[in-house]
Structure 1
Amino acid sequence: MMKQFLALAPLALLAACNSQPTADPAADDGANAVTPAPPQENQIPPAPEPTQPAHILSLQGLGDLRIGEAVPATSDWQVRGAQVSDTCLVLSSSDYPGAYAIVEQDKVRRISIGQRSSVKLAEGIGTGASEAEVAEYFPFPATPHKYVDAPGKYLTAPNAASGDPALRFEIGSDGKVSQIHVGTMPVLGYVEACS
């Protein structure tokens, strides 16, 4: 009998040590609350998702518009005024005066900023910049402007023919940027909105 007691005694002690009274959740005064572990000193918080500043035009787009994608349903970019075509739409946004977008086959194909626009490229180039300022960052080949005599011209990124989003500047008769376009060919090269 003594042998049985000695054999079971360690198990009884172990069970006694591990048992804790069950707390009544209704009577909890906070003494039994679990406190989260403090953050470790070397723990790096997750990086925030990169966002594009609202008034910066990039090869990806402007605001919530993305080149090659449909216009988001909640977007302020809307058809305003008469349209010449059902297959090519020109959109504008009250958030971006002086800017417009061209949509073909239900996708944004080009975004353009004009002289009334405060939108700029990340490099700080906007409408009104000199051709020399543009050439500092974008030494693109020039082609004659369809409607403006020299020094008017188009400066188009060499990769435009690839079908990837590309950049195009219109230089006016004063030698300054009159419009900046981002989009894909052939829409990037349109000279009158949808043509």
Structure 2
Amino acid sequence: MIRFAAASALALLTLSACDSPEEPAAPATPPRTADAAPAPTAPPVADNVLTAQGLGPARIGMTVADLTAVWGADANPGAVGGADPETCDQYHPANAPAGVTVMTQNGVLTRITLMRDAAIRTDRGFGLGDTALAVKEAYGGAIVAQPHKYEAAPAEDLFAWSSGGSTAYVTDPAARGVRYEVGSDGKVKMIHAGDPSIQLVEGCA
């Protein structure tokens, strides 16, 4: 009788164990992978820094209408910036920084120039009054030096092309660069940035 009772109890325990729900399996842990490195991004350029692409909201290649929208119209419309302004014109927009002039050709902004009292500097940190030697040392082999057309050495033109440049005359309209115009005292007296029009010594003349 005792054996029968023990056997029955064991059977009940076995049945009870079979009927109890199974505990849910722990979710599989996905294999750990290395975190993807963020894509490098170019540091933003301040609005008061001149680059081969432009200055602040004024961008090389934009239309005259767009340029007028961001910098205003010619501050001195009576002045003659070119023999045929529709083809080529040079002027200081009313709302542009002091000492900044623009060149427009066939309705498009092609060049921005720093002159006279301009306090703007390039993305390499250079402005009017800096020495040609300092510019050459900073750019190294990226500088293309050419004799100045009207002044004796040490006057010269220093070209730093960021795209599409060469040691010969550049004609590719997509080319972009900066030209440091150095005077006879060996210091930068003007800076031009933009497309191949930065090579024009007489401007629109």
Bin of the TM-score, shorter chain as denominator length: 0.5 to 0.7
Partner of 2:23 in structure 1? none
| 2-structure distance, mates of 1:115, 1:148 | 18
Paired residue for 2:149? Answer: 146
Higher RCO by CA contacts (8 Å cutoff, separation 6 or greater): 2
Superposed counterparts of 1:38-187, under 5 Å: 52-71=45-64, 72=66, 73-79=68-74, 80=76, 81-84=79-82, 85-86=84-85, 87-93=87-93, 94-139=95-140, 140-157=143-160, 159=165, 161=170, 162-163=172-173, 164-185=175-196, 187=197
Letter aligned with residue 78 of structure 1: A
Q: Deviations over 1:36-92 (max 9, x none)?
A: xxxxxxxxxxxxxx7532210012101221111213242224322223322111131
Unaligned segments of structure 1, at least 5 residues = 1-49
Distance 2:81 2:91 in 1: 10
1:114–1:180 CA contact under 8 A, matched in 2: yes
In structure 2, the residue matched to 1:191 is 201
- TM-score, length of structure 1 as denominator length: 0.67
Q: Displacement of 1:114 after TM fit?
A: 1.2
**CA-to-aligned-CA distance 1:109-134 (integer Å, 9 cap, x gap):** 11111131001012211111111110
Q: Distance in 1 between matches of 2:129 and 2:139?
A: 15
- Structure 1 runs of 4+ aligned residues shifted over 4 Å read none
| CA contact 1:57–1:120 (8 Å) conserved in 2 | yes
Amino acid of the structure 1 residue aligned with 2:132: E
Quick one: distance in 1 between partners of 2:88 and 2:129? Answer: 28
Q: Structure 1 CA distance, aligned partners of 2:135 and 2:92?
A: 25
**Partner Cα distance (2:57, 2:103) in 1:** 14
C-alpha distance in 2 between matches for 1:56 and 1:155 = 19
Pair member with larger Rg: 2
Superposed displacement of residue 157, structure 1: 2.8
C-alpha contact (below 8 Å) 1:171/1:179 kept by paired residues: yes
- Distance of aligned partners of 1:76 and 1:67 in 2 relative to their CA distance in 1, 3 Å threshold: same
TM, length-normalised to structure 2: 0.64
Task: Sort the Cα spacing of 1:54 and 1:141 in 2 relative to 1 into closer, same or farther, 3 A.
Answer: same
Amino acid at match of 1:144: P
